[in-house]
Amino acid sequence: MQIKLEFVNFNEELNIFEIDESSYFLELEEEDASTYNLLKDSDLDLYNWLKESDVFLTWINEEVYQNNIGKKFAISDINGISFIRFYFFKATSGDTHYEYFKKLFSICVESDWQDREEIGREILDHLSTKRQELIIEIS
């Protein structure tokens, strides 16, 4: 089974993510393909499994970012499952992003009139930690 991956590169100096314009294809063996199929509906579990996978890390080192020890990046897309909102969320982001992060971070909204910017700041506070967890460093 082949999966398509897209990445964002982390610029530590500017503390920002930059989109890697390329798409990459990783071939999964049968056992890894089974695991992928089990986890594909649980986006962060899929992300974390892939991030810890020896197959993935070897492939990154040998095929994608060769000779880039210390490079920091994150996965922005796995076969159409997007993680891009984690890296580029803004107070002006769409309602679906707000709803996703409110659920993910268990943010309680007391009323419909609560200030969107206030909720956005709370989401960004949670994201500052979550983004660090998603970063992969080539070693």
Residue 112 pLDDT? 63
Distance CA 33, CA 35 (A): 5
- Cβ-in-10-Å burial (0-12, 13-18, 19+) of 71 comes to middle
The pLDDT tens digits of the residues spanning 26-70 come to 999 999 999 999 999 998 999 999 999 999 999 999 999 998 889
> What is the pLDDT, as a whole number, of residue 52?
94
Q: Is the pLDDT of residue 74 over 80?
A: yes
pTM confidence score: 0.89
